[in-house]
């Protein structure tokens, strides 16, 4: 189907946040056909964004201005998504929401284009983007799942501070400066205990520390992040019976989520065959044997990266290390890729019906 000739009016709500700025930069860098960009701040209008050499003010959200657009990216809170997304979609606006508000709604597609682009439907104009931790695993595990059917996953995630937002990063940097000033060792070689600023954005101090809590705990002892990863992965893969056990850990890393994953299959799958499958997987870069990616060398890079592929406890288990940029593929890039798919299908028109 031919692409529409008319250029698009595109809005970004939350354009001044970390993910929003990445998204605006991607629209320019990937030459998305936005004739007009309308950036909005989720809160007070104090900032502007750069787009195609111009500084564009980002005012507070204006629903009428959003309703006049062809495509709206929501990179804001669940509250903002709940207030705006359904009404805009009913008016024919395409809405790609990066919050968790609609991810598990059975009427809303939850989409990672390399995995389940077929879930996109011209009649469903509200689309949910996935959890940033789950995305890398979904891309890396999908080629293996299609061949040998993954029945069980055990996951330990090591999640960057930027996943908790700008205030958490500020807290991390402030604590790190305090630690650097006080890092003097006692004569016997033991490091003394020293206080850091009291945490507010995160549940514990993060500088020089790790803790197994990302989100609030439920009655069963699972954190919000752990539940999101399990539930969303089942939906994206179309595998409601998938058994998933997750421990989500916050680590003192600025950018890039890493996961140690053990995959249990219905059928035997050798490391050699799995390597061949992963080397051809879209959106994935597999390290050579003996190599592995890290958050530091993955930050700012587009593909999901994986390494340390090896046998597990038997012929039906493999172990894998997965790293992805939580602000790119985990959020902004995935949303832009969805929009690019809609553009290629010539769906980004108000009058498009098939």
Read off the pLDDT of residues 288-345 as tens digits, 9 standing for 90 and up. Answer: 999 999 999 999 999 999 999 999 999 999 999 999 999 999 999 999 999 999 999 9
Closest C-alpha among 31, 34, 38 to residue 15: 38
**Distance between CA 109 and CA 124 in Å, rounded?**
8
Read off the pLDDT of residues 145-196 as tens digits, 9 standing for 90 and up. Answer: 999 999 999 999 999 999 999 999 999 999 998 888 766 555 555 555 556 7
Q: Is the pLDDT of residue 2 over 50?
A: no
For 248, counting Cβ atoms within 10 Å of its Cβ (0-12 exposed, 13-18 middle, 19+ buried), the class is buried
Domain limits for position 320: 134-164+202-326
What predicted TM-score, i.e. pTM, was given to this entire model? 0.93
Chain-wide mean pLDDT for the chain? 93
Read off the pLDDT of residues 8-24 as tens digits, 9 standing for 90 and up. Answer: 999 999 999 999 999 99
**Distance between CA 307 and CA 319 in Å, rounded?**
9
Let me know whether 159 and 261 are in one domain. yes
Let me know whether 81 and 217 are in one domain. no
The answer to whether position 126 is within a domain reads: yes
User: How far separated are the first and last CA of the chain, in Å rounded?
Assistant: 10
Let me know whether 71 and 160 are in one domain. no
Q: How many CB atoms lie within 10 A of CB 84?
A: 22
354 or 89, higher pLDDT? 89
The answer to whether position 154 is within a domain reads: yes
**Distance between CA 140 and CA 323 in Å, rounded?**
10
**Distance between CA 221 and CA 228 in Å, rounded?**
14
132 is catalytic: yes
Closest C-alpha among 316, 334, 250, 304 to residue 140: 304
Q: In 121-267, at which residue ranges do the beta strands (DSSP E only) sit?
A: 126-128, 150-159, 243-250, 257-265
The CATH number covering residue 65 comes to: 3.40.50.720
The order of strands in the sheet holding 243-250 is 243-250, 150-159, 257-265, 317-324, 304-311, 284-286
Let me know whether 272 and 315 are in one domain. yes
Let me know whether 217 and 91 are in one domain. no
* pLDDT score for 189: 54
Read off the pLDDT of residues 247-279 as tens digits, 9 standing for 90 and up. Answer: 999 999 999 999 999 999 999 999 999 999 999
Let me know whether 100 and 158 are in one domain. no
* pLDDT score for 1: 39
The answer to whether position 189 is within a domain reads: no
Asked if 354 contacts 294 with a C-beta cutoff of 8 angstroms, the reply is: no
Question: Among 123, 145, 198, 257, which one carries the catalytic annotation?
Answer: 257
Q: How many CB atoms lie within 10 A of CB 7?
A: 11
Number of domains in the chain: 2
Closest C-alpha among 162, 176, 129 to residue 256: 162
Let me know whether 230 and 101 are in one domain. no
Question: Angle CA(346)–CA(352)–CA(354) in degrees, nearest 5?
Answer: 80
CB burial string 99-138: b at 16+ within 10 A, e below: bbbbbeeeebbbbbbbbbeebbeeeebbbbbbbbbbbbbb
257 is catalytic: yes
Question: Among 69, 132, 145, 198, which one carries the catalytic annotation?
Answer: 132
Let me know whether 126 and 229 are in one domain. no
């Amino acid at each position: 189907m031919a692409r529409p000739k008319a250029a698009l009016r595109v809005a970004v709500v939350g354009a001044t946040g970390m993910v929003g700025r990445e998204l605006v930069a991607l629209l320019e860098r990937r030459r998305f056909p936005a004739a007009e960009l309308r950036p909005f701040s989720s809160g007070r209008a104090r900032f502007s964004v750069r787009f195609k050499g111009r500084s564009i003010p980002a005012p507070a959200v204006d629903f009428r201005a959003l309703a006049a657009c062809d495509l709206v990216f929501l990179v804001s809170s669940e509250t903002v998504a709940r207030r705006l997304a359904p009404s805009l979609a009913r008016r024919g606006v395409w809405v790609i929401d990066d919050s968790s508000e609609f991810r598990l709604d059975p009427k809303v597609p939850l989409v990672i284009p390399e995995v389940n682009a077929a879930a996109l439907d011209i009649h469903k104009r509200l689309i949910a983007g996935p959890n940033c931790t789950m995305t890398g695993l979904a891309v890396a595990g999908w080629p293996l799942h299609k061949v040998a059917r993954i029945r069980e996953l055990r996951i330990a995630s090591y999640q960057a501070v930027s996943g908790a937002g700008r205030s958490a990063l500020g807290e991390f940097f402030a604590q790190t400066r305090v630690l650097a000033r006080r890092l003097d060792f006692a004569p016997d070689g033991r490091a003394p205990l020293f206080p850091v600023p009291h945490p507010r954005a995160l549940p514990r101090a993060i500088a020089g520390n790790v803790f197994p809590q990302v989100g609030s705990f439920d009655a069963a002892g699972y954190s919000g992040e752990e539940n999101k990863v399990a539930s969303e992965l089942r939906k994206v893969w179309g595998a409601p019976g998938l058994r998933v056990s997750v421990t989500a850990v916050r680590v003192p890393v600025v950018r890039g989520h890493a996961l140690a994953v053990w995959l249990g299959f219905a059928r035997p799958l050798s490391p050699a065959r799995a390597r061949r499958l992963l080397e051809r997987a879209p959106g994935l870069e597999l390290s050579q044997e003996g190599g592995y990616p890290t958050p530091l060398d993955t930050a700012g890079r587009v593909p999901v990266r994986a390494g340390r592929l090896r046998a597990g406890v038997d012929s039906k288990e493999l172990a894998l290390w997965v790293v992805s940029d939580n602000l790119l593929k985990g959020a902004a890039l995935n949303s832009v890729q969805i929009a690019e798919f809609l553009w290629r299908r010539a769906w980004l028109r108000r009058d498009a019906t098939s």
